[in-house]
Each structure stands twice: as structure tokens, then as C-alpha cells.
Structure 1
Amino acid sequence: MHRALFFLLFVYLPHLQSISPAAATTTNNVTLPGCPSKCGNVTVPYPFGIVSPSSNSSCSIDPWFDITCNTSFNPPKAFLSADKFAYTGFGSSHRVEVLDISDEYIRVKNTVASKCYNQSGGVIDDNATGLVLSHSYFTLSELNKLITIGCDEYALVSPIAGIEGKNFTSGCVTVCSNVQDVPIGSCSGMGCCSTSLPTGLTTYVAQVFTLNHHTRIWSFDKCGYVFLGEQTAFTFQGPSDFTDPNFANRVVDTVPVVLDWVIGSATCNDYKNTPDYYCQQNSVCVDFKGGNGGYRCSCQNGYQGNPYLTPGCLDIDECADPNNNPCNGTCTNLPGSFNCSCPHGYEGDGLKNGRGCMPTNSKSPALKLSLGIGFGFLSIFIGMGWMYFSQQRRKVIKLREKYFLKNGGMLLKQQLDSNEDGSVNQSTKIFTTEELKKATNNFSEDRILGRGGYGTVYKGILPNGNIVAIKKSKVMDESQIEQFINEVVILTQINHRNVVKLLGCCLESEVPLLVYECVSNGTLFDQIHRIGGAMAWLTWDHRLRIAIESAGALAYLHSAATKPIIHRDVKSANILLDDNLVTKISDFGASRLIPLDQAQVTTLVQGTLGYLDPEYFHTSQLTDKSDVYSFGVVLLELLTGKKPLCIENGKVVRNLATFFLESLKENKLFQILDPRVVREGSLEQLQAIGSLVKRCLNMNGYDRPSMKEVVMELERVRKLTKQPWVNQQGSHEGGNLIHASDQGENSDLYGDSMNPYTGSIELSSNYSSDQFRSLYPTNEPR
């Protein structure tokens, strides 16, 4: 149990009252006359001032800037005003020690929150840390970070309730299980973590909490720590910080908390011509951008001194110190500047860091003429070169603009601008040609991942180390441009773990480019139809999971996307697998957005042989049920291990969907299934999924299930009993099941396996209209 959080008592003081500075300054122009300028090792410049217990006069611009000098220490120590500022912990508070005061910041001594444990996980020490600057002209600087040390900690920091007026909580977690894993000098989450706080914060309280009470790492880490401090002042020393009994004291002594300080609470313009404007002559007023406003004064260039004290900043006489005289010749001091000149008989700029001064007669007229002519020709060549490269650059810019228009840039812009509902991801990156050339080693042949109907896919490595797939389209005509832009617009609207993610595009090259996440484990088509049979990992459970993930992604496209999307080219070659064998649907070049008030659209028939919906082929009416049919063919591939189109006897092309439906009529379902599916799936599962495939392949799209229904049915199949039916005696088909399945068909209609990210096979590829119609019969009653 943690102890209750502390209650803070502090005094609210009256609003800032103006105190006019004295008319004269001390000789060093640091403090008001008669006021001490140092407390121990700390210099206290005006508008700050040391409080004198023996005098009623103020040495500061306002009581908030009072500094108390405690002479009981040796050397004396400076503290912020005792009744205005305080460190706080569990029910206690103490004064804030000042370490340094500069023109912008004041650095104060730190405090550290800690929590220590015994070997059994009991808390033996628990301290919080916090600071109160409320209602003052001080805020916590952005130079600070919240730092947490330990191997079993999470730290939380928040404003002090009832004072700050803000409501937030921030923090970080640091975990490590082995002391050898803890890096030295790194504060990114293993042994050490850091985080920033909001700007303008005036109070905070920080505590350290545990995840497992240090029971697992007690042997090398018994305590956790958290503190706010200047980030550049702290370096994590690794495991030695865990065992250092003086760690907290070391942080307190070496890592200060940085505070921003300002005058007042409004801008320079608000205070000008009022008694509260303290910037003197030769100084500039700078508004403070953080916190609650305010301003600071600083000396102009060439001046020095205290800008808050009369007569203001004084001119720096650059010529006074002979050791630092900037001139090689005669130095003349000017207000805020200086001038160098050469004596009679010499020429040059007179600067030590410049040309200096040289005798006028040191160069002959011939040498001067030669130098003049040489510099003249050099200037001409430089000018001509600049003009040439400028012209070439303009040509490149115009060429890129031409490619941008040619590749559909204006069409894409119109699509994005017309997307008023915000469904398009506006953060999609627009890559330059140079970035993608560098990522692909200038589109090297050894970076090719695959080729397809619409282009070539390259492996790319971005500057941040991310591996991507870059699709380089072929030279396209106007009809292909619309298809390409369609794929960009569709992919920017999709956010699903089982849909390949579009990272960006490039339109300024000769051919358009798309940048995807790289899915490097190949396609489902490759995994099923590889030479020698399906991959060893492709068990019945994995096949079901792949089917469920693919169906879920299509259901998302049909019903959960901002606008319904019909993929129009669902096939196993467009289902990718990542390193964890997670399914990714790809290739949206043929996809279509469906208006919310329509159930179908009329399009040119496009798809891949073997997967194409016969009803869509005959009517040109595209609906979401067209994807259901194609997905049914993918399910058949998973179940049978056969390709959608198989060549029998070297001549006859057999459609797998038709073959499946004929086998069902003849009660020969199990004879066409993959032997491994038969061995691992239960009879109930195989019958259920066979029935589902039959419904998906219905010639009438109206009678097919929706993708949502397909997902639910597949989930139900996965939950069914998993007793392999082939072990049951007396099955009516068991006698010749294995024998029939082992015969398998290894013919492949496609010469090369399809590749991820690439396009579909065109309908006209190697087939006449009559041949295709023979594979896709008309919708007749069955």
C-alpha cells in the first residue's frame, strides 16, 4: 500500500507591484547601489536581489525575485524566498537552493523520489518529490526531463492538485531482467527512461511505482528512483547506478532543475510606456513564448551590462584591450561597433581575421592587371556555369511537373480534395524520385521482388532503416492512369491489420511509383502450389486461420470502410504472408468504391481466370458477391491444394470450381481434398466448410452469403470438434479417400507463380471468348 499523497500548504501572495529601480548603479552594473552581488559562489544580478535582514529596502525588482543568503553554511548558500517556493514530498517541504542565475534561466538544487524493497518485495523506503512555483514568474524549463532509474519501475508525474489548474499525468516505464543487458549511457527504457513535461508547468509531483516489487531483480537492483532535472547534466552509468548507495545524493549535487524566469505576465508592447517596463537604453525586449507570458531584456550587439538598471547597457570598447584588438591597422571604437582602417601607404580591410593591411606598392601594375583579368574570366565562367545549371534545374522541374500531370497528379489531388468526410489518410507521404532511387539502389535488378501485369516491385530500404516494397508501374496510357490513382485513393482509406498498408507514392518520375509496407514471406499461391507440395507449416489450423483473416479483411472492405470497396481481383496470388504468417490482402488496382446508395456498379469485366464471378462476367454488374465467389475459389485452393484452372491430359482446361460442384453432386467431396486436410480436419469441419464453399460458388450472386456471414461460418468451423474423421471406422468414403487424394494434380496453368503487389491476368490472355465462356457457364437452375 502506498502512503497517501501529500497535502501542500503554501502562502498566496499579493499581485506583482512595481518597484522602480534606483537611478544609479553599482560600478559593476550588476545590482542596485548598496546591494550585495554574491552569496557564496552564486552571483545574484538585478532584477534578483539578496534580502538584507538589517534593511527594509529591497534589492530585487519584486518580492518574487528575493534571494535569501544563509551564512550559516560555509560557503554561504542562496535560497529562493522561503514563503513562496518549496520542494515537497509526503507531507513535508523544504526550501529551494539556488545554484546559478543567468539571463534566461535559474538553476536550483534537485530532489529525488525513491522506493526501496527487501528481498521478499516489502517496501522499506518510499519518498516522493515535487516543486511549487505557483503564482510566481517562474516555470519549469523545457531543458528538464523526467528521468526514471531501475529495472522494475514506472514513474508518474502530474501537477499538484488544486494549484496548477491543469489535469494530466505523464511518465515512463523501465524494465530489465538481466543486469548484463543494461546499456551504459542510454536512457531509452532498459534500466533508464526519460520523458518531457508540458511547457509552462509551475508545479509537479513525481512518484516511483513498481511492477513486480523487485523480487526478480533484487540481487542487483533494490531501489527505484525518479527525478526531474536538466537532461544534459545527467549520464546514466548503467548497473553501477543500481548499487550506488549515494546515487540520490549524487543526482542532487550534480543534476539541477532548470527554471525559466520572466518579468510580469504580459508582452513587451503591453508594458511599454508604463512603469512596469524595465528595459533600459541599448537593450531589446523579448517576449516569453511559454508559460503565462512575460518578457525579458537583453543587451544589443556590441553592448554589455545589466539591461534592467539605469543607464542601461554600455558600449563595448573593442579597441581598449590591445590583446583582443580586432584590427591589424588602426582601430576606432563606434557605438555598438568598431571600425578598422589602414595607415597611409597601406591598403586592405585592416582586420586581423581578414586581409589585414599590406603596402600599397607591394604589387606591380602587371600583377594587378593579370589578377584583374583572371578574376574577370573566373567571374564569367562562374556566371555561365550558374546559368547552365539553373537552366538544367528548371528543365528538371518542368519535366517533373509534366510527369506529375501525366501520372494523374491532378486527378489524385481532385480525389483527395473531394474527400470531405476525411476518410483518406492525409498523412500518406509523397516521396521524391531521389529518395526512392536511393532506397532501391537506383532500381537495381537485385532488388526486384517480383513482376506482374501492372509493373515491377522492388525492395527498398528507407533512411530510417524501414524495409518497403516499391511498385514501379509500366509505361501507362490514360486508362491505366485512372486505375493507378484508384489504387492510391482506395488504399489511403483502408486501416486494417490484414490489408497491406500504403506508405506513400511518387508521381514525379516517368512512371508512377507506390510505396507499400514490405510483406516478405511470399504469396498464399506460392505456399500452396510450390513444387513438391504445400509448405510444411500449412496445417489445417493455419489454413483455417488464413481463410478467416482474409475473409475478415474483405468483410471490412465491404461493410466497415468509409465507403464500401469491392476488391474485384481476390485470388491467392493477392494474399500475402508476413514474417509471422499473418495474412495481408494486396493489389487494389482493379478495386472499385461503391456509393452508399448503390448495391452494384456497371464496369468493364476485369479479373483473373479461374476466380472470376460468372454472373459478373455475363452481366458486367459488379457487386460485393463477386468477391465472395472469388474467395470461394481461394477456399477451394486451401482445401484441395489444386490450382483454379488445371490442364488435364495436356489439353483440356478444367475449372476447379466446376470440378468441385460436380464432385459434390457425385458425393465425392473427400476424394478431391488435400490428403493433409483430410488427416487433420474433422469430418464435421470438412462437411461444414464444403457446404460453405458451395454457397460461395452459387451461380446466382443473391444466394451467396455476405463476407460477414462467411467470417462467422469459418469461426464456427474452427470451433467444431477436431477428431480426424479418417480414424473413424465405417466411413462411407473412407475406403478410397486417401488413395484418391494422393493422386493429386501438379499441372500449373501459369508459367510463373504470381507475385505480391502485382496486377491480375488480363481476360484476353491466351483465351478466346468461347473458351472463357466454356469455363464460366451461364446462370442456369441446377
Structure 2
Amino acid sequence: MELKQMNLLPYQIACFYACVLVLTLATVQNTTNVTKPGCVKQCGNVMVPYPFGIGSGCAYDWGFELRCNTSNQKLLIGSNIVVYNISDAELRISNSIGWRCYNSSGAVHSESPAWTTFIESLPYSFSSLNRFTLVGCDDYGSITGPNNFESSCNVSCTSIRDVTEGECMGKGCCQKQIPKGLKYYNTTMSSTGNHTHVWSFNSCGFAFLGEADHFHFRGLPDIADDRNVDYLYERIKASVPIVLDWAIGSLNCTQALKTEDYACSENSHCIDSDTGLGGYRCSCNPGYQGNPYLNQGCQDIDECADHPNNSLCEKMCINTPGSYNCSCPHGYTGDGKKDGRGCIAPYHHQFRWIKFSAAIGAGAFISLVVGIVWFCFRIRKRKLIEVREKFFQQNGGLLLKHRISTNDGSVKAAKVFTAEELKKATNNYANDKILGRGGHAIVYRGVLSDNRVVAIKKSRIVDESQIEQFINEVLILTQINHRNVVRLFGCCLEDEVPLLVYEYVSEGTLYEHIHNQRGAGWLNWQNRLRISIETATALAYLHSFASMPIIHRDVKSANILLDNVYTAKVADFGASRLIPLDQTHVATSVLGTSGYLDPEYFRTSQLTDKSDVYSFGVVLAELLTGLKPIIRSRNDEQKNLADYFVWSVDNNRLFQILDRRVLREGNLEQLQQMAELVKNCLQLHGEDRPTMKEVAIQLEGLRKVTGVSWSNQHGLEENNQDELSDLYTVPMDSYGNTPNSDSSRVMHCRYSPS
């Protein structure tokens, strides 16, 4: 047998060895030979059945020859592949794990690439029971093989809390299937970001191939210490083997029967290999046991001796080649089998009518019980259907159906989910599926039948007077298709209160990343500018929506969500209003959040698109300063960030309130233009403010402005910045909301739970 082994380039890792769980060979009677006469039967605790053999002349051919290392009693393929188990169709062998570790600057600290392949003439192939596995954060790995096979894995996580034990779906762990009949494979491994943003809790990536059923992802250990590399290596080595399929030759059973070297012996039959590479295996016929590859290897099983005390037959057991027969003494009737009619005594017929009557009575009783249970179930199911139909009509279901049928197909995207669909998606609204709670709603994470991950908002109360407005907003919002707006997929009206089904956004709110240090690593000046542009573009799109413009009415950083790549998505349309194309404003009761609320709207109750512009100006001020919309000084005096920002610009004190990172990274001209734009958005009179479209254009233009940072020109005043950061604090409730947030609206078409 020939094995080929080589190391690849530094950026490639092969995962041929997997760390293993030692298994034992299938049970064989002590009297049955498993090897050719004169050959060694086992090495260590591993049996070596023919067609395998240790040494020349003991195997079916050279491809099945194995080697026993007498010093440590290890059974080997070639020079260093350890065999742990041989079964009728598989081998389990040792494997090694490849890794790459990085230092804090992103340079490769250490790595262990490994690559191994079996040449085409060997009788082995990699079993589809194996999985290609990648463990870590910020890592990418791929596996390739013959017939253009290629598969890849990508793992990412922003903190150790992202990782869930037992789940291998891309957060810290990724697994990919391999096809049957794979004769060799090649893997590569790299980092998508050199581990610089995850190095503090994960500095290494690991890749290997191994049996899927024997690998359980237990989360990411702290692997900044090299000793933990050894820990992960030894843990997988002790529990995860690689599985190889094996077969005789390349002919199928029909072809092999015509050859002189057909391997199956007497009392055995042939089984075609299912790897797609041809070949076959042998198995003893039913009623026989032993090694089907040896002459007279399949011996008859004496069922009567193996089952003493008449456990098969009631009276007499007679062994036959490959089977057995049961018989009864003279005068008895029946087949004599324990699991059949048995042996019936001559007087037994006197009691048959008793057994028959008892059977009839038991059957009637069981039928009665089943009938009552079925009847109760039907009544309960009917009542449930009636209750859901009542809620459906009460929540505007008939109105929604009518609007869909009379809109010429323009609202087909408004899907009406059933209560059963959403109950199943959330595991009956389990507590571990809760994403957030608010005063009027709870948001659950759910997985629909088509595997889409969604956020399901379940309100606590309902206002029947707002049903028609709720249905109108559902129909309009389901038509919004913008990459920076959280999409509303549809609603469920079969519950006591309507349930809304939204696109799932994984990384929380912009408010959390600005004020709770979640964005400390990634929220640089360029990303702040990008998020500003994305949010402005989304709001401009809503204001110019073709069928009917939408005023958001509650723009704030807590209503801007971030996905897994930190793309901004505007959410929470519970306070939104639809503005007819022939109107410039609508009169409403004042709703919004303190600190973001347009003062002109507060005075006049006249809602216009410029109200969103004012609120967006406050969000821009948050991004520039890192301060909260309501700031509180040491003497407990409250200040409005909007007024404070405008005052600072007018009094040439802008650079004393800007976030230190913004000062370090943003150039002077960008910061001045951005501040002037914020000031324009915060004008007291709406007619003096720009439109959201003009705001988006001006923000996009800032990307082209070049120059050196303000801190490089003037030097960053660290003491002033430290004093400012200590001076202002804003209280929050347990859900991250400011205490003055108004969430009194009942029919919420939004993602957040408040």
C-alpha cells in the first residue's frame, strides 16, 4: 500500500486526521475464525478481520495490508495513520487538526497545516458520515476534491455571547457535508479580518474533518493562551474519528461473479458499494455467521443452542442449515413457536370461548374510550377554530382580505400568517425566544417553515377604533422594499391581539452601540458617516414613497437597527402616518420621544416630513458627540442635546463636545460641514430645514471631502474630553429606552417591543 503526504503553502491547512473515539469490532463468536490461518488476529485491542491483514500474504490484496507497531500496539495504515476500528463497511482512523493563531496586530503567530490523500488505487474513500468543520471567529475555510467538489465555511462572532453550545451554524462554528466516494481532499484556511477585532477573546481558528455524530460544539474556549490550542486539539482527538468507506475492487456484484477472484465464500451473498466508485462487499446469509471472505467462513448458527430453555419454541426446537423448526408433542396442535400459536393442549378448546369473549369485551371497551377521546378532541378543536375566526374578524381580517382582493395585486406581499404557524415558529412562545419586552409588546425570535428567521411582535393590548388605520399601514409597509428599512413580512390576526412578522436584525440598536460601548471596536468615523447616509437614504425613500408618502414620526437611534455587517435599518413604524399626495401635512395628537421631538410639531400638532428631519438631526448629533439626547449634569439639571449642539456651534465650541474618536479620524472640513448640516436640521421652523433627500445628498458628498483630522491640526484636548465624558449621564430603563419615550400607540407596525 502506498500513501502520499505533503505540507501545503502557509495559507493552506488540510484536515485529514480527526481526533477519535475508540470503538470495538462487531461481536463474533469465539469459535469463528476472522483471519487467514497463520495470520495475526489483532493489534492491541483492534481485531483485524480478513480481507484485511497484518503483513504480506495475510490480506486479500496489497490495498488491505495493515501494519502493527509492536512498540505501542497501534494498528497503522502506512507509517502514521492509526486504525481504531474495522467494521463490515467502514474504518475509523486517527486525524490531526489544523490551526492558525494570530497576535494582537493581526500577524500569524503560529499554525499547523496538514494535508493527506489516499491514492486512487487504495480501496478507501472518505465517508459522507464525516463533516468539514471550522471553529473560531473571523475565519474562512474551504475544502475541495475530485469532480469539481468545493465547499466553504465562514465563522464570525462579535463577542463570546454570540456563540451557542450545540449549534454549528456560523456563529463560532460551521460544518459542511462532503459527498460519498471522496478519494482525496484539499483545504485552505484564512482570516477575514486577521482577528484584530476579536483577538481579545479569540485569537485562533481551527479546521478538521471528522465523524459528525461524534463532534459536539461546546463553545469557544479562551484560546489567547497557547496551552488552550493543545486543549482543543486533545479534546477533539479523544472524541472525533475520521470514517473511511471500503470495498473490494471496482466491479459491482454482477460483474464480480463472473471473475475468478470473486471474494464471497459459500453461504454468503454480495452487496454493491454505494459510494459511486464501484466495488462490493460480502455478508453471511441469514442464519449464518462468521467471515464471508474466508473459505467455510460463514458457519450455521445453531439457534436452538443459542436460545436455551425453549425461548424460541414452546416445546421442541430442531436446528436446520440457516434456520430452525419448532414442533409439538404428539396430540398437541399449533406451530410450536413462542411468537406464534404455540402448542395447544387437547382440552384447550374448552376455554377458547372464554378467551374470545374476553377479547370482544376488551375491544369494545377500548373502542368506547377512543371514541370519547376523539369526540372531546373534535369539540375542543372546533371551539379553537371558532375563537380564532372571531379574533380574525375582530382584528380586521375581512377588511384586509377585501383590500387585497380590490388592489389589482399590488398588495400580494401582505402575507396573513396563521396562529399555528407563528406558534410553531416560536416553540409556543418560549421564554428563550424572547428578543425584548416593552410596556405594550413582546418581540420573539422565530423560524418559519421555509427556514426564514423573523422577529414576531406580540402586542399586549388592542384599540378596536384603530383597526382600519392598522390594516392600511400593514398594506403599505409590506410594500416597502428598501435595504435600509426593516421589512414587514405580514401579520397574524387569529390571536386576541394582532401579531406582526418582521425581518430579523441581529446586532441590536444604534443607541446601544453609541451609548453602551457595544460599538467601541467598529464605530469609527467612516462607519458613523456610512450609517448616517444609509438612514438618511431610507427616510428620503419613505418621504417620497410612490403610493403614499410615510412620515416615520419617531426617528431616534433606538429605532435604527444594525444587521450582522452593521448595515443600518430603520425600524418601528408604530407611530408612523401616511400622507396623501395632495396634502403637505396632517393634524395629529403629538407622539414621539423626548429629546427627538420636533418643537414646531409639539406646538402646532401639524405633522410634516420636516419633523423627521429634526429628529434625524438629533441622531446625527448623537453620532458626532456620543452624548445622549437628554443629558444630565452633576447638579441634576437636564439639557437638550439639540439646543446644546446648536449653542456650541454658534459659540465656536463645537470641537469641545465632539467625540474623541470623531476628532481623531474625521478631517476638519468634514466635521464643520457635518455640524452645519446638523444645525440646519435642528432649525426651529420646519420651512428652514432641508428635506431628507437634500440631507442624504449632502451626507453622500461628505465622503468625497478629504483633509487631515482636526486632532492632527490642533491636538486633542484629552482633559476637556475626559471632563465632558464624566459630566453627562442619562438614565435608562431595563430595556435600554430613555424614560420619556412615548409608546402609547396601540396598533404597532414596528420591530422594537416598546
TM-score with structure 2 setting the length: 0.50
Instruction: Quote the residue 2:389 is aligned against.
Output: 401
1:486 and 1:589 in contact (8 A); partners too: no
1:489 matches 2:484: no
Which residue identity lines up with residue 433 of structure 2 in the other structure? R
Alpha-carbon RMSD? 4.1
Instruction: Quote the residue 1:475 is aligned against.
Output: 461
Tell me how far 1:615 sits from its aligned partner: 1.3
Tell me how far 1:648 sits from its aligned partner: 2.3
Could you say what secondary structure the match of 1:611 adopts?
A: coil
Q: 1:409-448: CA deviations, max 9, x gaps? A: 234334434544715524x351433x33333232222222
* Pairing partner for 2:511 from 513, 525, 532: 525
2:426 and 2:445 in contact (8 A); partners too: yes
Q: 1:291-326: CA deviations, max 9, x gaps? A: xxxxxxxxxxxxxxxxxxxxxxxxxxxxxxxxxxxx
Instruction: Quote the residue 2:417 is aligned against.
Output: 430
Instruction: Quote the residue 1:199 is aligned against.
Output: none
The 5 A counterparts of 1:4-23 are none
Aligned residues: 424
Tell me how far 1:495 sits from its aligned partner: 0.4
**Cα distance, 1:447–1:707 mapped onto 2, change above 3 Å:** same
1:675 and 1:738 in contact (8 A); partners too: no
Could you say what secondary structure the match of 2:454 adopts?
A: strand
The 5 A counterparts of 1:335-354 are none
1:523 and 1:576 in contact (8 A); partners too: yes
Q: 1:501-559: CA deviations, max 9, x gaps? A: 2233222223322222221111000000015x852211000000000001111111111
1:739 matches 2:720: yes
**Cα distance, 1:668–1:461 mapped onto 2, change above 3 Å:** same
Q: 1:251-271: CA deviations, max 9, x gaps? A: xxxx9xxxxxxxxxxxxxxxx
Instruction: Quote the residue 2:490 is aligned against.
Output: 504
* Pairing partner for 1:675 from 653, 660, 670: 660
Instruction: Quote the residue 2:179 is aligned against.
Output: 184
**Cα distance, 1:558–1:601 mapped onto 2, change above 3 Å:** same
Q: 1:692-746: CA deviations, max 9, x gaps? A: 11111111112211111111000111210141022225xxxx7868625752244
Structure 1 CA distance, aligned partners of 2:659 and 2:425?
42
Instruction: Quote the residue 2:139 is aligned against.
Output: none
**Where do 5+ consecutive residues of structure 2 fail to align?**
1-145, 151-174, 187-249, 251-275, 277-348, 746-754
Which residue identity lines up with residue 629 of structure 2 in the other structure? P
* Pairing partner for 1:514 from 474, 496, 500: 500
**Cα distance, 1:655–1:571 mapped onto 2, change above 3 Å:** same
Could you say what secondary structure the match of 1:719 adopts?
A: coil
Structure 1 stretch displaced more, 598-607 or 571-580: 598-607
Could you say what secondary structure the match of 2:456 adopts?
A: strand
Q: 1:56-101: CA deviations, max 9, x gaps? A: xxxxxxxxxxxxxxxxxxxxxxxxxxxxxxxxxxxxxxxxxxxxxx
Instruction: Quote the residue 1:748 is aligned against.
Output: 730
The 5 A counterparts of 1:194-209 are none
**Cα distance, 1:395–1:700 mapped onto 2, change above 3 Å:** same
1:400 and 1:509 in contact (8 A); partners too: yes
Structure 2 CA distance, aligned partners of 1:397 and 1:182?
43
Structure 2 CA distance, aligned partners of 1:507 and 1:643?
38
Which residue identity lines up with residue 440 of structure 1 in the other structure? T
* Pairing partner for 2:398 from 379, 396, 410: 410
The 5 A counterparts of 1:33-182 are 150=148
* Pairing partner for 1:653 from 638, 641, 644: 638
Q: Taking every aligned residue pair, what percent have the same amino acid on both sides?
A: 53
Tell me how far 1:582 sits from its aligned partner: 0.7
Tell me how far 1:686 sits from its aligned partner: 0.8
1:441 matches 2:422: no
Structure 1 CA distance, aligned partners of 2:525 and 2:429?
39
1:609 matches 2:594: yes
Structure 2 CA distance, aligned partners of 1:430 and 1:597?
34
Structure 2 CA distance, aligned partners of 1:446 and 1:749?
27
Which residue identity lines up with residue 752 of structure 1 in the other structure? S
Could you say what secondary structure the match of 1:392 adopts?
A: helix
* Pairing partner for 1:556 from 525, 536, 541: 541
Structure 1 CA distance, aligned partners of 2:641 and 2:408?
44
Structure 2 CA distance, aligned partners of 1:544 and 1:415?
41
* Pairing partner for 2:378 from 390, 394, 406: 390
**Cα distance, 1:478–1:722 mapped onto 2, change above 3 Å:** farther
Could you say what secondary structure the match of 1:527 adopts?
A: helix
Instruction: Quote the residue 1:452 is aligned against.
Output: 438
**Cα distance, 1:612–1:411 mapped onto 2, change above 3 Å:** farther
Which residue identity lines up with residue 750 of structure 1 in the other structure? M
Instruction: Quote the residue 1:569 is aligned against.
Output: 554
Which residue identity lines up with residue 507 of structure 2 in the other structure? N
**Cα distance, 1:718–1:629 mapped onto 2, change above 3 Å:** same
Which residue identity lines up with residue 448 of structure 2 in the other structure? L
Which residue identity lines up with residue 614 of structure 1 in the other structure? P
Structure 2 CA distance, aligned partners of 1:668 and 1:366?
104
Structure 2 CA distance, aligned partners of 1:621 and 1:488?
24
1:452 and 1:760 in contact (8 A); partners too: no
Could you say what secondary structure the match of 1:469 adopts?
A: strand
Structure 1 CA distance, aligned partners of 2:685 and 2:463?
35
Structure 1 CA distance, aligned partners of 2:602 and 2:181?
62
2:413 and 2:489 in contact (8 A); partners too: no
**Cα distance, 1:371–1:184 mapped onto 2, change above 3 Å:** closer
Which residue identity lines up with residue 523 of structure 1 in the other structure? T
The 5 A counterparts of 1:156-305 are 183-185=178-180
Could you say what secondary structure the match of 1:544 adopts?
A: helix
The 5 A counterparts of 1:536-551 are 536-551=521-536
Between the two structures, name the one with larger relative contact order (CA 8 Å, sep ≥ 6): 2
Structure 1 stretch displaced more, 450-459 or 653-662: 450-459
Instruction: Quote the residue 1:761 is aligned against.
Output: 742
1:671 and 1:738 in contact (8 A); partners too: no
**Cα distance, 1:510–1:617 mapped onto 2, change above 3 Å:** same
* Pairing partner for 1:694 from 676, 679, 682: 679
Q: 1:731-766: CA deviations, max 9, x gaps? A: xxx78686257522441132235479x9953489xx
Q: 1:558-617: CA deviations, max 9, x gaps? A: 114432111111110010111101111111111112112222112221111111111111
Could you say what secondary structure the match of 1:468 adopts?
A: strand
**Cα distance, 1:523–1:636 mapped onto 2, change above 3 Å:** same
**Cα distance, 1:442–1:735 mapped onto 2, change above 3 Å:** closer
1:725 matches 2:720: no
Structure 1 CA distance, aligned partners of 2:418 and 2:737?
24
Could you say what secondary structure the match of 2:455 adopts?
A: strand
Structure 2 CA distance, aligned partners of 1:680 and 1:752?
33
**Cα distance, 1:525–1:495 mapped onto 2, change above 3 Å:** same
Structure 2 CA distance, aligned partners of 1:644 and 1:619?
22
Could you say what secondary structure the match of 2:507 adopts?
A: coil
Which residue identity lines up with residue 535 of structure 2 in the other structure? S
Could you say what secondary structure the match of 1:493 adopts?
A: coil
Which residue identity lines up with residue 184 of structure 1 in the other structure? P
Structure 2 CA distance, aligned partners of 1:651 and 1:479?
41
* Pairing partner for 2:698 from 705, 713, 725: 713
Structure 2 CA distance, aligned partners of 1:662 and 1:578?
35
Structure 2 CA distance, aligned partners of 1:365 and 1:763?
76
**Cα distance, 1:416–1:658 mapped onto 2, change above 3 Å:** farther
Could you say what secondary structure the match of 1:626 adopts?
A: helix
Instruction: Quote the residue 2:23 is aligned against.
Output: none
